[in-house]
Amino acid sequence: MSNPLIGNRANPRPTFHDALAAGLPQGRDDEPASLRQDILDELNDHLACAWRRELLRSGGLANELQEQASGQGQSELWQRVEQRFGDPRALARRLWFDAMWSRIMNQRLQVVAMFVLAVASFGSVALAWKTLAASQALAEQSQASNAELIKELRGLVSRLPVASQSPAAPVAPVEWNRVGIRCVSEKAGGKPLAGVSVEFGGNKPILTNADGVADLGLMHIGPTHLTFTVDKRLQLMHTIQVRPGEDFEETFVCPPAASQISVSMPMILPNGIPPALKSRIWCRVVIWRESGGFDSWSETFTKDHRPFLTVFLAPDGKIWPISDPKAQLRQQHYQESDSGQPVEISPRPAQGIFAKFAASRIELSKDLQPVDSLQLPQGCYRLSYLLAVSDDLAPHAFFILPNHLALSTLYFDSTNGPSAAAPIRLAGSHEIQIDDNLFKAQWPAPNIWKVEVSPRELENVQFLSTFSAEAVPMALISVAYQGRKVPTLTASDHLDFLLDDKVILSGVPVFSQQVLNDIPSPQIYLFASLLVQEVDLFRQIQQGSWGASVAQRFRVRIRPGTTEEQRGTLPADFEEQLKNLPRPPNESI
Amino acid sequence: MEIRLVSGTVEMLVMEVLSAGASYGYQIGQTVLERSQSLFELKEGSLYPALHKLEREGVLESYWTEHDGRRRKYYRLTANGLKDLERRRAEWQALARGVNGVLGLSGSAS
């Protein structure tokens, strides 16, 4: 660095700004406005101080002007200052870079990032361009191939015989052939039968027209199962074979409708039965319409294709026809009003055993609608039945056939002799198998089905209460209080005892629900049927409907063929507990 | 004798000088020279970068005055700088004790 004072003799004080400024880099836009001047001023101050120090060392301020006049002396002083200070311009440059370092680096990083971004963008564009070019080349190649193929096909077509260029003649179906069904009544050559339903493969049934013909359309070769239904009373399941290249046509002879036969069903009881017991015996009979089997016409039992009918028989020969009790059971439920009655059944059967149902007013002999005979279509039937004895304590009955009991199965022929029009009639049987004993029913005349009850059978059923169950261990329980008549009803899959607004629940999965409406004492007798092996009962007294309870548990063991009595006693402080149960506002026991 | 200071020592010496009051670059260098009995002479090439670094770190703050027709930049310690100085003192004393212990000069360390 040359002497900064040379050429500046007019200024009595030394200044190093120009010399220092020469070491600074060129100005930047992001440079703080005062940075450059601050560095220069600070270093200038330092150099001025150092200059003054060297000046003092060389002879004092008195000689300053004289020394200044001497260029040789100034140079020596500056050399000493510079020797101690180092290069002031390099220091100024370093201070400037230190201050600007972060800004410079940020700018450089931005430049590098922009460069990388530009390169990436350029690469993407180049790649897209290359892909587009490849796609175009592939499309052009595909078009060329297609054009070549079309050209070859046209050449082939032009070489075909002229006849083949005329409209194609219909090709005779080989695998698919037309199927037509013709139905006539009663005999071959009989009158065409319109309205016969022909169903196959789950399709919508096709009805025969006025000519008795049903066009089933094209069917694939092989076997096809058809179901014919005439007037919803006769059914035939038949298999046809469709052969390759052959249309199928066949005429079916539909038998006439079976006559309606009046059938009575007296119950024949063994001698010696006490009159009081005889009046309580009931028989539930399920009448099954036998099918003629596959490929034979069979008569459906009812117009809605139900294959069975359930009736109740009374010892006096009265018959109560009801619909399927199991179906009823799934749908019906009983509701009791807040006041305790009347109890309603929903849905109420149009014609059933509960014509005027009220828990406390049921009387079988009045509420049921008995008939003397049944009107059944001519045919073969299979009967299953279950005997029961009604309970004086529960004056209405409801019977479910327990399949596991495997009681007798009776076959009756109600045709009044062979019918020429009826295709198949099974031979009847009137034997009754109960355990190891075979019993015979008596048939005084056709169409009178007599249910003969043996003493042994009656012995078995005498312990049946008014309720039966579908399977063990469903409990058959009647509830009484000190021999008094108790209105009961059936409904639920668990046992509920109602004492006014106090509910006694049983955890046993029983079929019966029995309602006790007016029991003055909490003491209850429980009777169980012979079907129950062992029953766990617990009584749970609930106050109202919000769930507070007092529970008591006891067990009942019952041997088949016997009945046992279990007397349950509520806790001594039962009444006290009831009073202490929480209850909603404005309600009292 | 030329003494090569341990890294960070310049900054500590500058802060120590400024703990007595505000000062400017030339005076700071002279103070260190006098206190060290002319043993430490802070080169301007290390003094000013250290001052500027400490200022950027918030250890020092500066202000300008007018003196003899020139602008003069004074530095002083900030509150954080004072805490930092205390930390550096403690570290230096620990270092000195350790070095003195190794050199068998424990008695003069404290």
A370 and A356 both lie in a single domain: yes
Beta bridge partners of A184: A192, A253
Q: Give the DSSP H or E segment for A125.
A: helix A88-159
Give the confidence band of B36 by pLDDT, cuts at 50, 70, 90. confident
Average pLDDT, chain A: 59
Q: Is A408 or A254 the better-scoring residue by pLDDT? A: A254
Could you state, in order of their start, the residue ranges of all structural domains in chain B? 9-101
Contact criterion met (CB < 8 Å) for B45 and A95: no
Contact A289, A310 (CB under 8 A): no
Q: Does A91 touch chain B (CB under 8 A)?
A: yes
pLDDT of residue A270: 58
Q: What percent of chain A has a predicted confidence (pLDDT) above 70?
A: 40
A271 within domain boundaries: yes
A302 and A439 both lie in a single domain: yes
What's the burial of A571, exposed, middle or buried (CB within 10 Å: 0-12/13-18/19+)? middle
| A91 vs B48, B67, B70: nearest CB | B48
Give the gap in angstroms from C-alpha B44 to the nearest C-alpha of chain A: 6
Highest mean pLDDT (candidates A133-137, A417-421, A459-463, A553-557): A133-137
Rounded Cα distance, B40 and B29, in Å? 9
Q: Is B64 or A363 the better-scoring residue by pLDDT? A: B64
A339 and A449 both lie in a single domain: yes
Q: Does B34 touch chain A (CB under 8 A)?
A: no
Structure tokens at A140: 């052009």
Least confident among A150-159, A543-552, B29-38: A543-552
Rounded Cα distance, A270 and A250, in Å? 56
A148 within domain boundaries: yes
Contact criterion met (CB < 8 Å) for B26 and A95: no
Q: Does B83 touch chain A (CB under 8 A)?
A: no
Contacts of A46 in chain B (CB under 8 A): 25-26, 44, 48
Contact criterion met (CB < 8 Å) for B48 and A86: no
Closest A-chain CA to B74? A42
Length of chain B (residues): 110
Q: Does B45 touch chain A (CB under 8 A)?
A: yes
- Mutation target among A20, A35, A43, A46 for the B interface, most CBs of B within 10 A: A46
Per-residue pLDDT at A101 exceeds 60: yes
pLDDT of residue A60: 54
Contact A563, A530 (CB under 8 A): yes
Q: Does A267 touch chain B (CB under 8 A)?
A: no
A15 and A128 both lie in a single domain: yes
A559 within domain boundaries: yes
Q: What average pLDDT does range A385-396 have in this prediction?
A: 44
Give the gap in angstroms from C-alpha B27 to the nearest C-alpha of chain A: 9
A226 and A264 both lie in a single domain: no
pLDDT of residue A210: 92
Contacts of A94 in chain B (CB under 8 A): 45, 49
A268 and A245 both lie in a single domain: no
Rounded Cα distance, A52 and A68, in Å? 12
pLDDT tens digits for range A29-60: 888 888 888 888 898 888 888 888 887 877 65
Give the confidence band of A183 by pLDDT, cuts at 50, 70, 90. very high
Contact criterion met (CB < 8 Å) for B26 and A46: yes
A191 and A303 both lie in a single domain: no
Per-residue pLDDT at A324 exceeds 50: no
C-alpha count within 13 angstroms, C-beta hemisphere, residue A179? 23
Cα torsion A141, A144, A149, A152: sign:
negative
Total domains present in chain A = 4
Q: What average pLDDT does range B8-17 have in this prediction?
A: 88
Q: Does B104 touch chain A (CB under 8 A)?
A: no
Highest mean pLDDT (candidates A10-14, A55-59, A499-503, B49-53): B49-53
Contacts of A90 in chain B (CB under 8 A): 45
Cβ count within 10 A of residue A513:
21
Give the confidence band of A244 by pLDDT, cuts at 50, 70, 90. confident
DSSP at A452: E
A371 within domain boundaries: yes
Contact criterion met (CB < 8 Å) for B52 and A95: yes
Give the gap in angstroms from C-alpha B99 to the nearest C-alpha of chain A: 31
Contact criterion met (CB < 8 Å) for B44 and A91: yes
Q: Does B87 touch chain A (CB under 8 A)?
A: no
Contacts of B52 in chain A (CB under 8 A): 95, 98-99
Q: Does B73 touch chain A (CB under 8 A)?
A: yes
Contact criterion met (CB < 8 Å) for A48 and B70: yes
Q: What average pLDDT does range B84-103 have in this prediction?
A: 88
Domain end residue (candidates: A254, A277, A308): A254
What's the burial of A196, exposed, middle or buried (CB within 10 Å: 0-12/13-18/19+)? buried
- Mutation target among A45, A54, A80 for the B interface, most CBs of B within 10 A: A45
Q: Is A237 or A459 the better-scoring residue by pLDDT? A: A237
Contacts of B56 in chain A (CB under 8 A): 99
ipTM of the complex model:
0.82
Cβ count within 10 A of residue A370:
16
CATH number of B9-101: 1.10.10.10
A171 within domain boundaries: no
- Mutation target among B34, B44, B63 for the A interface, most CBs of A within 10 A: B44
Residue closest to A384 by CA, chosen among A448, A457, A310, A455:
A310
Rounded Cα distance, A331 and A353, in Å? 15
Q: What average pLDDT does range A190-198 have in this prediction?
A: 90
pLDDT of residue A337: 33
pLDDT of residue A135: 83
Q: What average pLDDT does range A84-105 have in this prediction?
A: 84
A419 and A281 both lie in a single domain: yes
Contact criterion met (CB < 8 Å) for B73 and A48: no
Per-residue pLDDT at A427 exceeds 50: no
Residue closest to A293 by CA, chosen among A235, A251, A253:
A235
Contact A467, A529 (CB under 8 A): yes
Rounded Cα distance, A161 and A163, in Å? 6
Size of interface A-B (CB pairs under 8 A): 57
Return the C-alpha torsion angle A218, A223, A227, A230, nearest 10: 70
Contacts of B25 in chain A (CB under 8 A): 42, 45-46
Contacts of B42 in chain A (CB under 8 A): none
Least confident among A261-265, A349-353, A398-402, A540-544: A398-402
Q: What average pLDDT does range B75-88 have in this prediction?
A: 92
Contacts of B70 in chain A (CB under 8 A): 13, 41, 44-45, 48
pLDDT of residue A447: 42
A319 and A432 both lie in a single domain: yes
Q: Is A210 or A294 the better-scoring residue by pLDDT? A: A210
Least confident among A75-89, A493-507, B76-90: A493-507
A280 and A409 both lie in a single domain: yes
pLDDT of residue A173: 57
Give the confidence band of B9 by pLDDT, cuts at 50, 70, 90. confident
Cis? peptide before A325, omega within 30° of 0: no
A471 within domain boundaries: no
Give the gap in angstroms from C-alpha A127 to the nearest C-alpha of chain B: 48
pLDDT of residue A243: 87
Highest mean pLDDT (candidates A287-296, A418-427, B98-107): B98-107
Q: What average pLDDT does range A123-143 have in this prediction?
A: 86
Q: Is A155 or B60 the better-scoring residue by pLDDT? A: B60
Contact criterion met (CB < 8 Å) for A98 and B53: yes
A243 and A264 both lie in a single domain: no
pLDDT of residue A274: 64
Domain end residue (candidates: A401, A431, A461): A461
A165 within domain boundaries: no
pLDDT of residue A143: 85
Contact criterion met (CB < 8 Å) for A86 and B25: no
Structure tokens at A319: 């018959």
Domain end residue (candidates: A254, A284, A308): A254
Q: At what angle do helices A71-85 and A88-159 cross, to 10 degrees?
A: 60
Q: Is A298 or A14 the better-scoring residue by pLDDT? A: A298
Using DSSP, state whether A47 is helix, strand or coil: helix
Using DSSP, state whether A334 is helix, strand or coil: strand
Per-residue pLDDT at A547 exceeds 50: no
Closest B-chain CA to A94? B49
A553 within domain boundaries: yes
Q: Domain containing A486: what range?
A: 477-580
DSSP output for A143-184: HHHHHHHHHHHHHHHHHS-GGGGSPPPPPPPSSEEEEEEEEE
Rounded Cα distance, B62 and B18, in Å? 11
pLDDT of residue A434: 32
Phi-psi region of B71 (alpha: psi -120 to 50; beta: other; left: phi over 0): beta
CATH code for position A219: 2.60.40.1120
Contact criterion met (CB < 8 Å) for A13 and B69: yes
Q: Is A5 or B80 the better-scoring residue by pLDDT? A: B80
Per-residue pLDDT at A247 exceeds 80: yes
| A95 vs B48, B67, B72: nearest CB | B48
Per-residue pLDDT at A175 exceeds 70: yes
Contacts of A84 in chain B (CB under 8 A): 44
Ranges of H-type helices in B7-78: 9-18, 25-35, 44-56
Q: Does B70 touch chain A (CB under 8 A)?
A: yes
Per-residue pLDDT at B64 exceeds 70: yes
Q: What percent of chain A has a predicted confidence (pLDDT) above 90?
A: 4
